[in-house]
Amino acid sequence: MQQRLRIGVLYSRVRVEEKWIFGAMEKRGIDYDRLDDRAIHFDLNNPKPWQQYDAVLERSLSYNSGLYALRLLNAFGVPTVNTAAVAEVCGDKLMTSAALARDDVPQPHNATAFTPEAALEAIEAFGYPVVLKPVVGSWGRLLAKVNDRDAAEAVLEHKSTLGSVQHSVFYIQEFIEKPGRDIRVIMIGDKVLTAMYRNSEHWITNTARGGSGELCPITPEIEDICLRASNAVSGGLLGVDLVEHPEKGLVVNEINHTMEFHTMQPLSGIDVAGEIVEYVVKIAKRKGE
Amino acid sequence: MSTVVCPECEAEVMLDAGTEAGEIIVCSDCGVDLEVMSVEPAAVQLAPMEQEDWGE
């Protein structure tokens, strides 16, 4: 007789997405545990309590907590969604850009430097405006549109003086005159599940910053670039952000490995949480193969 | 439906049906974020401040 699957859901807060995921687990009669990342601990000499899971779905708010938990779980032989390897690449914009560049996936022009002086030189080579982004972080926070040299010098000095050491990895991106929107696409494995435009008057179009959602038809171009992006970061459950570049066409701006879908699910009418749970079950069934 | 007292402003805050532990609710009086620690009995505390590495 086949043993019943046991799933763990690692989370920090019960957002609406987690409520939907828990609901989808319960609807399917799945045996699952809620694992609060602020309460768990790992005994490295005793992986057994963790190895009881056939899969763990990672929904941590904290990139660090989520990433280290995934690394440990994968080291213990526990399948995770996503894998630590995917989180390592997607949680760091520079690593994402490097993976996309390696696989020739269209993306904005990016550069990086490790000192304010070298960053200023790179910015001047780009020409203004440019965008400075932290390599780790989300929800459109701490992005800076730099319009001239004075602003560049000020932002670079502030980042290197006031920020954590990670802010001294300067990630520089061309400023794209996008049509007041970007596109968020949800990928599950090699399937493009649904997509929406995120409209905003502001140059930051993130819905966490007030952007509004509108359903976006999945064109062959969207499907193609998203599949290539997903392959570049080793696939999984992903939120791919696309920008319509005036010269280059669709480009991949970033890829999220613990994506939110509170706007997408009601907008699309697709049970995203249910699809996520089905995918986790599929991964769980592969344990030990 | 149960109520809790906001630890910031002492207003009475109602927990909607279906509220779960770990959820964030907002105090309707002072607007502070509250984390639901338990539903039965109802208990909340000030939600942790957003950290730099938080996100999706």
How distant, in Å, are the alpha carbons of A63, A240, A245, A252 from that of A95? 14, 15, 21, 13
Q: Which of A174, A204, A227 is the last residue of a domain?
A: A174
CATH assignment of the domain containing A117: 3.30.1490.20
More confident residue, A289 or A132: A132
> Is A166 part of a structural domain of the chain?
yes
Sign of CA dihedral A259, B23, A197, A170: negative
Residue A208: per-residue pLDDT: 64
ipTM of the complex, rounded to two decimals: 0.79
The residue-averaged pLDDT of A85-94 equals: 97
Shared domain check, A67 and A117: no
Q: Which residues of chain B have pLDDT under 70?
A: 1
CB B52 within 8 A of CB A91: no
Statement to judge: residues A145 and A97 lie in one domain: no
How many structural domains is chain A composed of?
3
Whether A262 maps to a domain, the answer reads no
Provide, for chain B, the percentages of residues in helix, strand and coil under a 3-state DSSP scheme, each rounded to the nearest 5. Answer: 0, 40, 60
Contact between A136 and B24 using a beta-carbon 8 Å cutoff: no
B24 contact residues in A (CB cutoff 8 A): 13-15
Contact: A34, B54; criterion CB under 8 Å? no
Residues A157 and A225 in one domain: no
Within a domain: A265? no
Chain B within 8 Å of A162 (Cβ-Cβ)? no
B24·A15 Cβ contact <8 A:
yes
Domain annotation covers residue A207: yes
Residues of B in contact with A137 (CB under 8 A): 52-53, 55
Contacting A residues, span 47-106, partner chain B, CB-CB under 8 Å: 61-64
Q: Which residues of B touch A169 (CB under 8 A)?
A: none
| Domain co-membership, A208 together with A236 | yes
- Reply yes or no on whether the pLDDT at A66 is more than 80: yes
Residues A101 and A193 in one domain: yes
Task: Express each pLDDT in A74-87 by its tens digit.
Answer: 999 999 999 999 99
Cross-chain Cβ contact A239/B20 below 8 Å:
no
pLDDT at B23: 92
Do A94 and A207 sit in the same domain of this protein? Answer: yes
Q: What is the pLDDT of residue A28?
A: 96
Nearest CA-CA distance, residue B30 and chain A, Å:
21
Determine the pLDDT at residue B53: 82
**Domain of A207, in residue numbers:** 90-105+177-257
Mean pLDDT computed over every residue of chain A: 94
- pLDDT of amino acid A48: 98
Q: Are residues A101 and A214 in the same domain?
A: yes
Per-residue confidence (pLDDT) for residue A2, from 0 to 100: 58
Across A90-99, A195-204, B26-35, the highest mean pLDDT is recorded for: A90-99
- By Cβ distance, the residue of B23, B36, B54 closest to A138 is B54
List pLDDT tens digits, range A146-192: 999 999 999 999 988 887 777 789 999 999 998 999 999 999 999 99
- A209 falls in which pLDDT band (50, 70, 90)? low
CATH number of the domain to which A54 belongs:
3.40.50.20
Identify whether A1 is part of a domain.
no
Q: Say how far apart CA A60 and CA A56 lie, in whole Å.
A: 12
**Residue A107 pLDDT > 60, yes or no?**
yes
Residue A269 lies in a domain: no
One domain, residues A11 and A136: no
Q: What is the pLDDT of residues A15-46, one digit of tens each?
A: 999 999 999 999 999 999 999 999 999 999 99
Which CATH number belongs to the domain containing residue A187 in this structure?
A: 3.30.470.20
Residues A166 and A205 in one domain: no
Ordered structural domains, chain B, with CATH: 2-46 (2.20.28.160)
Domain boundary among A125, A140, A174: A174
pLDDT at A1 over 60: no
pLDDT in tens, A226-237: 999 999 999 999
Q: What is the pLDDT of residue A207?
A: 63
In a domain, A214, yes or no: yes
Kindly state whether residues A33 and A129 are assigned to the same domain.
Answer: no
Does one domain contain both A48 and A118?
no
Residue identified by tokens 């009669």 is: A29
The answer to whether residue A17 sits within a structural domain is yes
A221 in the same domain as A151: no
CB contacts, 8 Å: A258 with chain B:
55-56
Between chains, do A138 and B52 touch, taking CB under 8 Å as contact?
no
Cβ separation of B22 and A18 shorter than 8 Å? yes
Task: Please give the pLDDT value at position A69.
Answer: 98
Residue of B nearest to A35 (CA): B22
Name the percent of chain A lying above pLDDT 70. 98
Cα of B52 to nearest chain A Cα, Å: 6
Which of B20, B21, B52 is the closest to A137 by Cβ? B52
DSSP letter string over chain A? -PPPPEEEEEESS--HHHHHHHHHHHHTT-EEEEEETTT----TT--HHHHT-SEEEEE-SBHHHHHHHHHHHHHTT--EES-HHHHHHHTSHHHHHHHHHHTT-----EEEESSHHHHHHHHHHH-S-EEEE-SS--TTTT-EEE-SHHHHHHHHHHHHHHS-GGGGSEEEEE----SSEEEEEEEETTEEEEEEEEE-SSS---GGGT-EEEE----HHHHHHHHHHHHHTT-SEEEEEEEEETTTEEEEEEEESS---TTHHHHH---HHHHHHHHHHHHHHTTT-
Which of A13, A21, A93 should one mutate to test binding to chain B, selecting the residue with the greatest count of B CBs within 10 A? A13
Q: Is A2 in the B-facing interface, judged by CB distances under 8 Å?
A: no
pLDDT at A276: 98
Q: Provide the pLDDT for residue A166.
A: 78
